[in-house]
Structures are given as structure tokens and as C-alpha cells.
Structure 1
Amino acid sequence: MLSTGALRAHLLASRLAGPVATPREVNLRSYRLFAARDPRVLLGLGPERAWNEGDLLRLMADRCGVSDDPGRVSGPDAIDPERTLAALDAFADRLAEAAARRSPVLIGTGHPHRLLDFYAGLANALSAAGCAVLTPAKGRSVDMATRFGVRPYTLDYVEGVALMRETGVRAPGSATGAHTHSPLPVRVVLEEAVKGGGVLPELVVGDHGWVCGAGQLGIEAIGLADTNDPALFVGEAEGRVAVVVPLDDGLPSECYRPLARYVLNRACLSR
């Protein structure tokens, strides 16, 4: 079993935590946009209170470990590895609870090129534990806004993990999907499940709009988030997202494998 000390060392060596690649300027821009309620950074969350930039900076300092100095406007920023470790423990505990109840689970990612392997490991373990890993609306087209205008994307599943792909670009089942922050995919999945009289998830696992969109609808949601994704941490602070793990979400996929092993071991889901 991977020890806490070994995982902490991995977080720092890989730069999943500690000094991270997301620069201060990008973080502060995201906090400004969130304070202005720009839908591109709300990720489907409707904040219950008004969050100004100062509120968000203090929240992100508390939840992630970024600098709380408003005068620091450029350069590198950081994630406290102790906060990442504590959140991974809470994340694993939620998975263990779902497995014990054999809860139906939905898993989706807006970072398939980075995080698909991490989520696929969770999906396989939860399925082996008796959880239904849901796959509604496979093949559905979803029109989503991009910087080039509204474009159609296709909802697909790979090893139980939902992702979006540009329509016609890749064959179904291939591992490469589109990077998206949109909450529309999770809404489409849930609507399809309701219309078809199917099972709704009791837990949603993922990132970006998958987590915020589900949490906004009252479904328990847990996920991963970078320092420039304040919506998930606001959702957690307001009680609509159960657990958020702060880490750099844009590193090569192999960086996340030790995290998957650690989470599955703690959740007693390793095989």
C-alpha cells in the first residue's frame, strides 16, 4: 500500500501539489470572472451568496493553499500537499460509503486526455464492488458553446467514464475526448435517465461541470479541481459539492496513477 509519506513525496515531485504550473494571473482572472458570475467559470453552479474577489481568494487560500495576499498578482502559485492529502482521504471515504451501499454511480470528466485512467480505475473498482456504473445517453449529441461558437459534441463512455468528443472526429470507444468545462453533458445524462425511467446516480464523480452540474441538482458529487476552478470549492463551501481534491489537473495521465492506488486502498476497493 502506498503510504501517506510516499504519496506526499509524489505530489511534490510531480508538481500535482506544491508549486504548480497554473500561474497566479490565471487564478486571479478566474476569481474575477466568478465574482462577475461569468458562466464560463460557474461550471453550472448557481452560487447562493455574492462572492467577491477577496472572498474567493480567502476561500481558495483556505481550501487549496494559494497565497492569500491580494497584492501578489503574478508569478507561480501553490497547492498545499497536506490539503490535497486530507481531501483524498475524504474522497476515498465517500467512495467506500458508495461501495458499501452498492450505490449507482456516474463518472464523467472534462479532462479525458489527462484523467481518464484515474477515473476508469475507480469505475472498475466500484463495478466490482457491486455498484452500477451508469452510462445513459451514450451517443447523444450535445450543442456546447466554444470560443469558435456553438458546436455539436457527442457523449461517449470509455471504461464506464463519460466524456465528450467532437462529433465525427474519433470513433466511439477511443480514449481521446474533448476538454470541456460545460455542465450540459451531466444535465443531458440525467434527463435521459429520467425520461427512460432508468436509475439515477446517488453519487457523481468527476471534475468541472460534471461535479458542479450534479451538485447544483442536489446529487452528491465529489471531484478534482485546479486552483483556477473556484466553482467546485464554492460548491463545497455552500454544501452542494461533498468533496473537492485540490491538485493540478493538467499533468500527464501517469501522474495520477499513484493517487488512484492510494484512494482505492483507503476505500478497501483494491483487487
Structure 2
Amino acid sequence: MFPPIRGGRREAYATIGRVLSTGALRAHLLAVRLAGTVATTREQSLRSYRLFEARDPRVLIGLNPRRSWRQADLLRLMAEKCGVSDDPCVTSGLDVIDPERTLSGLHAFAERLADAARRGAPVLLGTGHPHRLLGFYGALADALSAAGCEVLTPATGERVDITTRFGLRTYNLDYVRRVALVREPGARSTSCETGAHTHSPLPVRTVLDAVAQRGGPLPELVIGDHGWVCGAGQLGFEAIGLADTNDPALFVGQAEGRVSVVVPVDDAVRSDYYRPLTRYVLNRACLSQ
């Protein structure tokens, strides 16, 4: 069982609908386990690091590392970027994310949003975690649009063939609240239904190819997670996003200069627990609506 939320669930829920101070947001991160002791296990993270060392495309998620990354290198990097233990003898239990690193990442994330808004830059948002993070990205899309940014929504309905653990599966690109995601064929396209979970970089490659073929504008900032960030960063687009401790590719991309900002955070908690992060980031970026 997970430890109880500090202060009780009623207090945690009360933080969801308002802009928090840095101290209050830190407490929220710990209370709902977005940071601190998170649900991602050490076993899951170590497995990802081993697969990354072997350059397994399921874990590279669109990144082509410039150098060889051994598991020991990844442990040191993830300890620096997330706060996990760098002790290779720690092989079980739950991972830990340092909330100070999460806050630092959110501050840098807000700076990139503010810069895009000042320039009126075209932006692209996409997620492989629509069940959890669609609301987070949707609010960013609304705020950036209100600030004068063009939120790109190309390639709607395009087919994307993605290799999964169940074999090759066909998905279709779609947008909800101007956030790109993929759906299984036949799934209803409504704002009440989210899409499929994926780490693949193929959706963002398909979208960017469609933009290029129609003559632009190309996004000056890509916002998302998993393959949306790594796939865009690998192609030379500025990319920022969220990542869990078992997603080393984004942090390697940041270390190698292909990804601008990565916020270390558990990416699979309840969707409403991300709402204070949204409000905090938009407030710091002067994009609060």
C-alpha cells in the first residue's frame, strides 16, 4: 500500500483548484507522490537503463545518443537530474524524485513557455500519456493560443503503424484540446475520450513531416512527453516535457543538448493532481487566464 497523503486527502484536494506558492506546491508534490517516493519501482527504472545501454528502440523513443551510455552512466545522470539513488546495489523498492529538482524543472519549463508566448511562436503539443496528462497539456495549449501562438494541429486522421509488445498495431492521429495523441482505429473522437498510451516517436515524426510537406509553419517549440519530446529533439526542434525515473531518454537528450527542459515527475498519477502544476507554470510564465 502507498503511504497516506500528508495532511489527509481533503487538504490535498483543496490545493487542486488554486495557484500555489512554491512551498505549497512542494508539499503538494510530496502529498500526491508526484515527487518524493513515487510509484515507479527501482526494478522498472533499472530495466529501462539496461535496455537504454543496449540501445533498445523501445527505450530510446526516438533519440539517437551521440555517445555510449552504460548503466552506471545512466544511474549517475538520473541521480543528478531526478534524485534517484546512484548506488548500483539498490535494486528494489520504490524510486525517489527530489521535489527541488521538479520545481527547478517547472521553473525552466515556464521560462520556455513565456519565451514562446512573447514571440508568438507556433507550437505543437502531444502526449503519449493522454489518460493522465491531457488536461495538463490542454491548459497550456489554451493559454499559448490566447497569448497569440499558433497551436498546430496537422495530420489529423493520419495512420501511424507502431510496434508494440503485442506486435504491429495501427493507430490514427487525433487532437483533443489541440493536443496530439493516437487512437486505435474505430475509437470515437470526442473530447470526453482520451487516446492510447505510447512511447513511440512515430506520431511526432508523422506530424512534423505533414507540416513540412504543406509548407509550414514549423513549430518553434514542441511540448509533451516520451517520443513526442525525444523524436522532435532528435530532429532539431526545441522540445520540453515531463519524464519519470524510468524514462532516461529525455534526460540523456537534455544532457546531450537535444532536449531543452525535462521536468522529473511521476507521469502516471491521477490527472487532477497535475492541475496545480499547470496553474503554477502558467502563473510563472505570466500566462494565467
**Shorter-chain TM-score: which interval?**
over 0.9
Give the Cα separation in 1 of the matches to 2:209 and 2:32: 39
SS in 2 for 1:47: coil
How many residues align? The count is 271
Cα distance 1:173–1:198, how it changes in 2: closer, same or farther (>3 A)? farther
Give the Cα separation in 2 of the matches to 1:253 and 1:83: 21
User: Structure 1 stretch 251-260 or stretch 192-201: which is displaced more?
Assistant: 192-201
1:232 aligns with 2:250: yes
1:121 aligns with 2:121: no
Alignment match, 1:37:
55
242, 256, 259: which one aligns with 2:274: 256
- Given residue 23 of structure 2, which amino acid in structure 1 is its aligned partner? G
Alignment match, 1:56:
74
Q: Give the C-alpha shift of residue 172 in structure 1.
A: 4.9
Contact kept, 8 Å, 2:158 with 2:172, in 1: the verdict is yes
Alignment match, 2:201:
183
Give the Cα separation in 1 of the matches to 2:157 and 2:191: 11
129, 132, 136: which one aligns with 1:111: 129
Give the Cα separation in 2 of the matches to 1:137 and 1:77: 38
Q: Per-residue displacement from partner, 1:134-192 (whole Å, max 9, x unpaired)?
A: 00101111111111111110100001100001111223544311000000000000000
Contact kept, 8 Å, 2:233 with 2:258, in 1: the verdict is yes
Contact kept, 8 Å, 2:174 with 2:189, in 1: the verdict is no
Contact kept, 8 Å, 1:142 with 1:152, in 2: the verdict is yes
Contact kept, 8 Å, 1:170 with 1:176, in 2: the verdict is no
SS in 1 for 2:193: coil
Q: Give the C-alpha shift of residue 77 in structure 1.
A: 1.3
SS in 2 for 1:106: strand
User: Structure 1 stretch 236-245 or stretch 195-204: which is displaced more?
Assistant: 195-204
Contact kept, 8 Å, 1:11 with 1:17, in 2: the verdict is yes
Alignment match, 1:164:
182
Q: Give the C-alpha shift of residue 198 in structure 1.
A: 2.4
Q: Give the C-alpha shift of residue 211 in structure 1.
A: 0.1
- Given residue 4 of structure 1, which amino acid in structure 2 is its aligned partner? T
Q: Per-residue displacement from partner, 1:110-143 (whole Å, max 9, x unpaired)?
A: 0000000000000000000000000010111111
SS in 2 for 1:270: coil
Structure 2 alignment gaps of length 5 or more: 1-18
Q: Per-residue displacement from partner, 1:88-112 (whole Å, max 9, x unpaired)?
A: 0000000000000000000000000
Give the Cα separation in 2 of the matches to 1:114 and 1:135: 20
Q: Give the C-alpha shift of residue 22 in structure 1.
A: 0.3
1:19 aligns with 2:17: no
228, 231, 236: which one aligns with 1:213: 231
Give the percent of matched residue pairs that are identical in Structure 1 and Structure 2. 73
Give the Cα separation in 1 of the matches to 2:252 and 2:192: 33
Q: Per-residue displacement from partner, 1:215-235 (whole Å, max 9, x unpaired)?
A: 000000000000000000000
Give the Cα separation in 1 of the matches to 2:227 and 2:95: 24
Describe how 1:93-108 pairs up with structure 2 within 5 A. 93-108=111-126
1:87 aligns with 2:105: yes
Give the Cα separation in 1 of the matches to 2:163 and 2:190: 22
